[in-house]
Amino acid sequence: MEEELRAWGNIRITGRPGGGNRNHVREAVAGDGQRLVVRRSRRTVPALDWELDLLEHLGGCGFTVPAVVPTLDGRRHVRGVVVQEWLNGRPPAREDWAAVATELRRLHAVTRGWSQRPGFRSTRDLLLHERGGDVDLSAMPQAAVRACREAWRGLAGVPMAVVHGDPAPGNIRVTPSSVGLLDWDEARVDHVDLDLADLPITVLPTAQQARARAAVHAWEAACCWRIENHYARRRLADLELTRREGGAADW
């Protein structure tokens, strides 16, 4: 990324942080010592602009999210390369997850009616369509597609808004005063319970939690079928276990 980074001036790559499994991510430092993150997004320009517009909006609403560092001539990205400020903090401990859930609910509240990310489809859309974002149902066995769609139908009636898409510990930074959310590569408009059911604590009513958790297993399987097939098959088995106690899928 050295060629692209010339557009920002004096920025030096210093290492590789954790995470960023689907993106080329590096730690960096500016000439004034400011700590930064540099990544090369795999998204289309419209999809990347959607993400950066979202982060700008959320920052204006008081969320702790990575701020974009523009190039010397004001651009937000160059050939997919984005520079963002480093978010300080630590991954959440068990006692922090309720605060994380509160912040996710606030995200959902302020993005009701948000337009869908270009090139993406929600789980509701994927009941009728085969492709969107990282999902290509045409690559999966038909039995697996049926199982995924059955799980996604269980979200009927759940509100739609922007979901972070991957609220894992590595994508959360906790400080005494805030809960920060980073790595918005998988963000899109979808049923909000998909974020909440993905947490290590239960914040939804029991039956609603079970339906949403099944939908998360289905989403992970569908997203990862081509690039992480072993993981995708494991998530399909987890999906089957939520439907049939003691069962296991044979995909």
Rounded alpha-carbon distances, angstroms, from residue 45 to 5, 53, 81: 18, 12, 11
Is the model's pLDDT at 247 over the cut of 80? no
208 and 119 Cβ atoms separated by less than 8 Å: no
Give the pLDDT score at 23.
65
Rounded to whole angstroms, the Cα distance separating 6 from 60 reads: 29
Chosen CATH of 96-243 out of 3.90.1200.10, 3.50.50.60, 3.40.50.920, 3.40.50.12780: 3.90.1200.10
Give the pLDDT score at 149.
98
Instruction: Write down the residue that tokens 């998530």 correspond to.
Output: 235
Fold observed for domain 2-85: Phosphorylase Kinase; domain 1 (3.30.200)
pLDDT by residue (tens digit) across 137-181?
999 999 999 999 999 999 999 999 999 999 999 999 999 999 999
Residues 93-102: what's their mean pLDDT? 98
82 and 165 Cβ atoms separated by less than 8 Å: no
Helix (H, G, I), strand (E, B) or coil at 245: coil
Residues 4-25: what's their mean pLDDT? 81
Average pLDDT, rounded, for the chain = 94
Rounded to whole angstroms, the Cα distance separating 41 from 182 reads: 14
pLDDT by residue (tens digit) across 178-229?
999 999 999 999 999 999 999 999 999 999 999 999 999 999 999 999 999 9
pLDDT by residue (tens digit) across 119-141?
999 999 999 999 999 999 999 99
Confidence band for 20, pLDDT divided at 50, 70 and 90: very low
DSSP at 15: E
Give the pLDDT score at 216.
97
How do the domains of the chain map onto residue ranges? 2-85, 96-243
42: tokens are 């795999």
